[in-house]
Amino acid sequence: MPEPSFDLLYIPLFPLIGAVLNLLFGRWAMRTLGDRLGRELVHLIAIAAVAFSCFFTISAVFEVMIGQGHDRLVDKVYPWIVSGETQVGFELLLDHLSAVMCLVVTGVGLLIHIFSVGYMAKDPDYHRYFAYLNLFMAAMLILVLGKSLVLTFVGWEGVGVCSYLLIGFWFTDDAKATAGRKAFIMNRIGDFGFILGMLVIYSVVQSLDVDAIRSMSATETGSPFAKAFFHVGDTNVTVATVATICLFIGCCGKSAQIPLYTWLPDAMAGPTPVSALIHAATMVTAGVYLCVRLNFLFALAPLTMAIIAVVGAITALFAATIGITQNDIKKVLAYSTVSQLGYMFLAVGMGAWVSAIFHLVTHAFFKACLFLGSGAVIEACHHDQDIRTMGGLKEKMPVTRWTFLISCLAIAGIFPFAGFFSKDEILLHGYINESVWSPGLNYFVYVAGALAAFCTAFYMFRLYFLTFEGKFRGDHHTWTHYVKEHWIMSMPLAVLAVLATFGGLLGWPHAFPGAAHMVQLDVGGGRTIPHLEGLPHVLEQWLEPITSTSARFSGEFFVGPQAKFLHDGHVSSTVEFGMIAISLSIAIAGIYFAYTLYKDGPSEAASQWASKLGAAYRASKAKYYVDEIYDVLFVRPVRALGSVLYHAGDQGLIDGVGVGGVAGTVGLTGEVVRRWHNGNVRRYLVILTLGVVVVLGSIYLNPRVAQMGPSSVSERFDPGGLRPTLGEQNVKVKLFGVFEVPWFSGGEDGDGSAADGPPGVPGQAGAQDGGAL
């Protein structure tokens, strides 16, 4: 199919323009137009920019891709890096995968921009906030649309920068600025892996274009990725494994997986809509997106896949257990995000690409809704984030409460909310996508995922009950002077809640009644055509072109459900229904447990459980001391090293010897030379005269000039015999003889010139004599 050219550039360009406008003119607008009008202008620009790119994406996807049946839209903007053989184009690609991501990013982004108008209404740096938010949208869209990994990396770094800027948005608070730095540094560790991965891929493909990588991978066992080896000790590791492990390190940083997840909970220092957009819905899912984007490459590396699955499963469970004991409303959601990202990587590791993207989409809906809901709660409680001092807020903020409840049900995995479908699909595939390379891994992954699902249901409803049910536990003033819900904050919540409710329909399970199946449609004349009837698994069909390459792999590279679980080309209904029953009962158990403990605020039973669990409870509450361990293992040594390098290297070598040395040398020279420059004009003149005498003397008394003889000089100057006359007079000689220079003692030259020279020569010889005296 020909790839139609389409101006995809506008999708990231609009937010970029918005960001530039607000950065340049935002402060000016807020000053000159008055506070109210200025703010209106600022957020109108920002929202319009995102709305434009949202509508542009929608029209590109629905009108051009679906309406006109194009699988891919490519925009070759310009050849970006051209260096010899290497050519990296600034090319944007909208295929089925990036279309899903673009829709999520622009759609959720638009809602969060609208929500921010309410949340940030009083902030003095309003324009800066919206500019950063727009900048983030631009970077994220470049990340998603980049056809080459280099361009994706540009977006990858761009979102990292915006994340840093927005976490440290209130940078006057030292803790928040530190959180921003922490996020940035941990991301840098991951980015290092990303760069290495790109270099490894480049060494094989000689290009970083996704299509080139795909065509290189497509041959499976014949692929250079699987055939070329790195030698690690005695074992040989395929290039694919090394490259994907490096890339996965990048994903760990960006998507907050163990061991690089600790920045994400700290990132909650930023404004809450930022947490919703960047640290829940979009940026942190970039790692999942990258893995699915390169699924053919990851499928060639079963070792990496196993590592990803294990890391994802452990992260899902680990973060979920921390989430149980946290008391900061945003911290709970942050650990929940880490945990859900773990699910996505679990799916990626088990080769369930579609499930990963499915969960990414539904998670974007309900987690954005949860974060925005928590933002509304925090706003209402005068920026108090401790759920121990909340409670009973349902009568004050009904919209927030209902949307929050829907999202809680969705994330807990209750039918028919979105999370049910996606999480169930991940657990299902975690179980049935058993790889021949890592037998038995699926059991571990499944158990960890199921346990994490229990924890998820529990902590989400603990959060819900403590916040909205029971009695208010804060001070009286907050309760009576709470900030009322405003439509501009409720509207995005409602839209996201609707999406969180129906988003699951994107992936209707095959076992369910009404699921799509092929029927032979009679078109008359005895001919039949196959026809799809019923509710399809929309996302699976939609992403088919993306996953088709890796779906063809076989043997150790096979990804997908094992044959023993399949029935008639689909997962057998018994397995699927069994899984659904298990995960539903787990979720309900978790919710019930939370209900018994927290339905009217923290109960006696809850503290009894806490003391019963003792050490485990304390460890979870202290986040397993991971930050402290990292502090001892990495932060302190690095700081110590930095301190040494600062004192010895920077201050000693660079400042001392380098900069200070140059300055000192110049200063010393100046100290010596300035004594000459004493302002005494006559002394200047003496020196000037001496200089002239030396210059003239070194010319006229130089044996070589003398050797040239008068004839050669007269050729160049006046032919009228000036030199002979002077030579005869011998005037100059005695005068200049005083300033004789050492090299002028050679008698042979003088003799030579005497032999050659015309009448002036005796004079020259006389000059030598005078000099000798």
> Reduced to 3 states, what is the DSSP secondary structure of residue 202?
helix
| CB 738, min distance to other proteins, A | 13
List the Cα angle 263/267/272 in 5-degree steps: 160
In the complex with other proteins, the residue whose CB is nearer, 567 or 732, is 732
Q: Where do contacts with other proteins occur on this chain (CB under 8 A)?
A: 677-682, 685-686, 689, 718, 720-722, 725, 729, 731, 735
Residue 170 dihedral angles phi and psi, to the nearest 5°: -95, 70
> Reduced to 3 states, what is the DSSP secondary structure of residue 522?
strand
In the complex with other proteins, the residue whose CB is nearer, 31 or 683, is 683
| CB 728, min distance to other proteins, A | 9
In the complex with other proteins, the residue whose CB is nearer, 529 or 681, is 681
| CB 266, min distance to other proteins, A | 60
Half-sphere exposure of 243 (CA within 13 A, CB side): 30
| CB 153, min distance to other proteins, A | 58
| CB 683, min distance to other proteins, A | 9
Q: Are 216 and 223 in contact (CB under 8 A)?
A: yes
Instruction: List the structure tokens of 639.
Output: 């700081």
| CB 723, min distance to other proteins, A | 12
Q: How many other CB atoms are found less than 10 A from the CB of residue 647? A: 11
Residue with tokens 């074992």: 235
| CB 729, min distance to other proteins, A | 5
The distance from CA 619 to its chain's CA centroid, rounded to whole angstroms, is 31
Tell me the C-alpha to C-alpha distance, in Å, between residue 537 and each of 148, 397, 410, 514, 562: 29, 36, 19, 11, 19
In the complex with other proteins, the residue whose CB is nearer, 199 or 685, is 685
Q: Using CA atoms, how far apart are residues 341 and 248, in angstroms rounded to an integer? A: 13
In the complex with other proteins, the residue whose CB is nearer, 62 or 676, is 676
Q: Using CA atoms, how far apart are residues 773 and 757, in angstroms rounded to an integer? A: 23
- For residue 81, which of 148, 33, 19 has the smallest C-alpha distance? 148
| CB 760, min distance to other proteins, A | 14
| CB 78, min distance to other proteins, A | 56
In the complex with other proteins, the residue whose CB is nearer, 461 or 736, is 736
| CB 698, min distance to other proteins, A | 20
Instruction: List the structure tokens of 563.
Output: 């044959």
Q: What is the DSSP letter of 564?
A: G
- For residue 502, which of 592, 588, 409 has the smallest C-alpha distance? 409
Which helix H or strand E contains 517, and what residues bound it? Answer: strand 517-522
| CB 744, min distance to other proteins, A | 22
In the complex with other proteins, the residue whose CB is nearer, 626 or 713, is 713
Q: Using CA atoms, how far apart are residues 284 and 274, in angstroms rounded to an integer? A: 12
Residues 6+ apart with CB under 8 A from 109: 50, 54, 137, 140, 277, 281, 282
DSSP of 362-422, one letter per residue? HHHHHHHHHHHHHHHHHHHTTS--BGGG---GGGT-HHHHHHHHHHHHHHHT-TTSHHHHH
In the complex with other proteins, the residue whose CB is nearer, 721 or 752, is 721
In the complex with other proteins, the residue whose CB is nearer, 672 or 681, is 681
Tell me the C-alpha to C-alpha distance, in Å, between residue 679 and each of 670, 672, 676, 685, 691: 15, 15, 8, 11, 18
In the complex with other proteins, the residue whose CB is nearer, 581 or 731, is 731
Q: At what angle do helices 573-598 and 604-613 cross, to 10 degrees?
A: 110
Residue 346 dihedral angles phi and psi, to the nearest 5°: -55, -50
| CB 757, min distance to other proteins, A | 20
In the complex with other proteins, the residue whose CB is nearer, 747 or 759, is 759
In the complex with other proteins, the residue whose CB is nearer, 536 or 766, is 766
